[in-house]
A and B are shown apart, each in its own frame.
Chain A
Amino acid sequence: MTVATARPAPAPTQPKVAVRGLGMTYPTPDKQVEVLRGIDLDVAPGELVCVLGPSGCGKTTLLNVIAGFLAPSEGTVRIDGEPVAGPDPRRIFVFQERGVFPWLTVEGNIGFGLWRLSETERRARVAHYVRLVGLEGFERAYPQELSGGMKQRVEVARALAVDPDVLYLDEPFGALDSITRLQMRGELLRIQERERKTVLFVTHDIDESVQLADRVVVMSARPAQVRKIVDIDMPHPRDLSSRRYIELRDGIFAEIGLAHRV
């Protein structure tokens, strides 16, 4: 670990996101609920890390703390060596399509965060990201006229348009049907190839994590702790029937304690 100095110079070895000893306890009327315990995690610049865990284990809480929407009870989150004090436009959180503003068109949504730019700059930036996520022809459409997958593209484009360093994705494809979900994973990888953001991706889908991630962080049940970090040492595009893919996937299945049979 790089020790943070007064003026942290981003050395090549410095992690983009550094989580140390993170703990989170919620007070409820009758008891304290511990959600996260002693989490250490480094994410390198441009890395795509999946946080994998069962539903309700606290992985969304973890992402919210890292994104600055929640303050941790213990431990620290640093980005480029600086402690996170709150949400920041350099790091955008993408919801499951629910964050799309229904009163704005596709263009209006994608340009939402670009209010500092001039009209011409904004228009050029919006047009670029409309193309990148493949929504040409739908610029003037309202979200209620779009499918779930298209709304998700709008959210991703809106996030990318402000050119953030980090993207936080909280089960972004969870509400989509399985075919659209597969397509969206391909899209995400294609976009990641071009834009090279640091991505933290929360999911409860083992296959999804092995298909997308450079590394998979396997979480335990509540209070969530890091059980294991698995390197996915496969180049993209990944062959989903290759022996290595199945090996990695089954390894994670075993780690979570699931028999690979239904």
Chain B
Amino acid sequence: MSEPALERLAAATPSGSPRRAIAMARPLSPAARLLLPLGAVLLALLLWQLAVTLTRTQVFPLPAEVARGFAELQRKGVLWSYAGDSLRRVGLGFGAAALLGIALGVPLGRAARLDRLVNPLIQLLRPISPLAWMPLAVIWFGLSDLAPTFLIFLAAFFPIVVATTSAVRTIPPAFFRAAGNFALPRGALLRRVLLPAILPRVLTGLRVALGIAWMVVVAAEMLGVDSGLGYLILDSRNAGKRYDLVIAGMLMIGAIGLLLDLGMRRLERLPAVRWGFQS
């Protein structure tokens, strides 16, 4: 086989086996795309209803009771304000993690010596659950908004640094050479080649990090704040064992997490990054 033919073969391989290509050739109709997940939700509600009625549990609420719980939260005006407070903490922590994570990941990906210096430290800190930092967060930030925001920052920071570093490292050298050939100044190289080249993989890292950050918010809001969806769940259990409100809070967290992820996925379709997401 000639050299170019081998190259084409190699380039074609990651797109998957022929079987997969056939499966992808028949996309779902828009109706099926909507009805299938909706059916699953209805089925889950049905099973929930059945399970509660059959076991005659006094603790676990029925779907209708949870719906009334939602209405109660809405009436008291805390549903949206708590969601807003949680989103603000996640926004701040995640935003700071994104800025610092990318700012640190880029030089780590470019400079082997710096990476050798800093990477072991990152790998040591990375496996520590953000929850383990809770006592320290309280010492440093007291019982303020800053403590949960710091935990969310920690949760999001490491995945972003790692994704950025590996994205920078895998930029094809041809891009840098082409840019060098056109005598691009340093600043323009960063803005016009490096950042756009890493954007798709960084975006994937950001999406993963945002998911983790949103998961951590519940635990983070155990740290002496008196608002937020995490606080709602804790408070509903502690003050009167209101499990209908506990589950309402959980569902709210799930729904917002879903919307955040959908939003991030939508960003992946922008023309400037779409090229990085094609098989």
* Known contacts A101-B193, A101-B196, A176-B4; A69/B182 CB under 8 A: no
Judge whether B181 and A101 touch: CB under 8 Å. Answer: no
On chain A, the number of residues with a Cβ less than 8 Å from chain B's Cβ atoms is 27
> Quick check: which of A14-22, A34-42, A85-93, A237-245 contacts chain B, the rest being far away?
A85-93
CB distance from B203 to the nearest CB of A (A): 12
**B8: interface (CB < 8 Å):** yes
**B146: interface (CB < 8 Å):** no
Judge whether A89 and B183 touch: CB under 8 Å. Answer: yes
Instruction: Please indicate which of the listed interface residues A92, A95, A144, A176 has the most CB atoms of chain B within 10 Å of its own CB.
Output: A95
Judge whether B272 and A162 touch: CB under 8 Å. Answer: no
Judge whether A99 and B178 touch: CB under 8 Å. Answer: yes
**A186: interface (CB < 8 Å):** no
Instruction: Please indicate which of the listed interface residues B175, B182, B199, B274 has the most CB atoms of chain A within 10 Å of its own CB.
Output: B182
B-contacting residues, A84-118, CB 8 Å: 87-89, 91-93, 95, 98-99, 101-104, 112-113, 115
**A55: interface (CB < 8 Å):** yes
Task: Find B275's partner among A89, A95, A143 (CB 8 Å cutoff).
Answer: A143
Judge whether A99 and B199 touch: CB under 8 Å. Answer: no
Judge whether B174 and A103 touch: CB under 8 Å. Answer: no
Judge whether B197 and A87 touch: CB under 8 Å. Answer: no
C-beta contact mask, A18-60 vs B, less than 8 Å → 1, else 0? 0000000000000000000000000000000000000100000
* Known contacts A55-B3, A101-B175; A87/B181 CB under 8 A: yes
Task: Find B197's partner among A93, A98, A103, A143 (CB 8 Å cutoff).
Answer: A103
A4 CA to B224 CA, complexed, in Å:
79
A89 CA to B177 CA, complexed, in Å:
11
Judge whether B178 and A95 touch: CB under 8 Å. Answer: yes
A104 CA to B174 CA, complexed, in Å:
15
Judge whether B174 and A113 touch: CB under 8 Å. Answer: no
Nearest residue (CB) in B for A140 is B271
* Interface SS of chain A: loop
**A246: interface (CB < 8 Å):** no
A-contacting residues, B249-279, CB 8 Å: 271-276, 278
A175 CA to B11 CA, complexed, in Å:
11
Residues of A within 8 A of B180 (CB): 69, 87
A204 CA to B3 CA, complexed, in Å:
10
A44 CA to B228 CA, complexed, in Å:
75
CB distance from A225 to the nearest CB of B (A): 23
**A138: interface (CB < 8 Å):** no
A101 CA to B189 CA, complexed, in Å:
13
Q: On chain B, which size bracket covers the interface?
A: 20 to 34
**A134: interface (CB < 8 Å):** no
Judge whether A102 and B184 touch: CB under 8 Å. Answer: no
B-contacting residues, A111-164, CB 8 Å: 112-113, 115, 142-144, 162
Task: Find B182's partner among A142, A143, A162, A174 (CB 8 Å cutoff).
Answer: A162
CB distance from A55 to the nearest CB of B (A): 6
Judge whether A175 and B4 touch: CB under 8 Å. Answer: yes
* Known contacts A87-B180, A115-B184; A98/B174 CB under 8 A: yes
Task: Find B273's partner among A88, A103, A175 (CB 8 Å cutoff).
Answer: A103
Residues of B within 8 A of A103 (CB): 196-197, 199, 272-273, 275
A93 CA to B175 CA, complexed, in Å:
12
Judge whether A144 and B272 touch: CB under 8 Å. Answer: no
**B38: interface (CB < 8 Å):** no
CB distance from B56 to the nearest CB of A (A): 59
Judge whether A142 and B188 touch: CB under 8 Å. Answer: no
Residues of A within 8 A of B4 (CB): 174-176
Residues of B within 8 A of A162 (CB): 182
Judge whether B172 and A89 touch: CB under 8 Å. Answer: no
Residues of A within 8 A of B183 (CB): 87-89
Task: Find A89's partner among B174, B181, B196, B278 (CB 8 Å cutoff).
Answer: B181
Judge whether B177 and A87 touch: CB under 8 Å. Answer: yes
* Known contacts A55-B3, A101-B196, A103-B196; A142/B271 CB under 8 A: yes
Residues of A within 8 A of B275 (CB): 102-103, 142-144
CB distance from A73 to the nearest CB of B (A): 20
Task: Find B188's partner among A92, A115, A143, A175 (CB 8 Å cutoff).
Answer: A115
Nearest residue (CB) in B for A176 is B4
A108 CA to B182 CA, complexed, in Å:
14
Judge whether B8 and A99 touch: CB under 8 Å. Answer: no
Judge whether B7 and A175 touch: CB under 8 Å. Answer: yes
A91 CA to B199 CA, complexed, in Å:
30
Which 4 interchain pairs have the tightest Cβ spacing? A113-B182, A102-B275, A99-B178, A103-B196
25 A/B residue pairs, CB under 8 Å, sorted by A: A55-B3, A67-B181, A69-B177, A89-B183, A92-B182, A95-B174, A95-B178, A98-B172, A99-B174, A99-B177, A101-B175, A101-B178, A101-B193, A101-B197, A102-B276, A103-B196, A103-B197, A113-B182, A115-B182, A142-B274, A144-B275, A144-B278, A175-B4, A175-B8, A176-B4
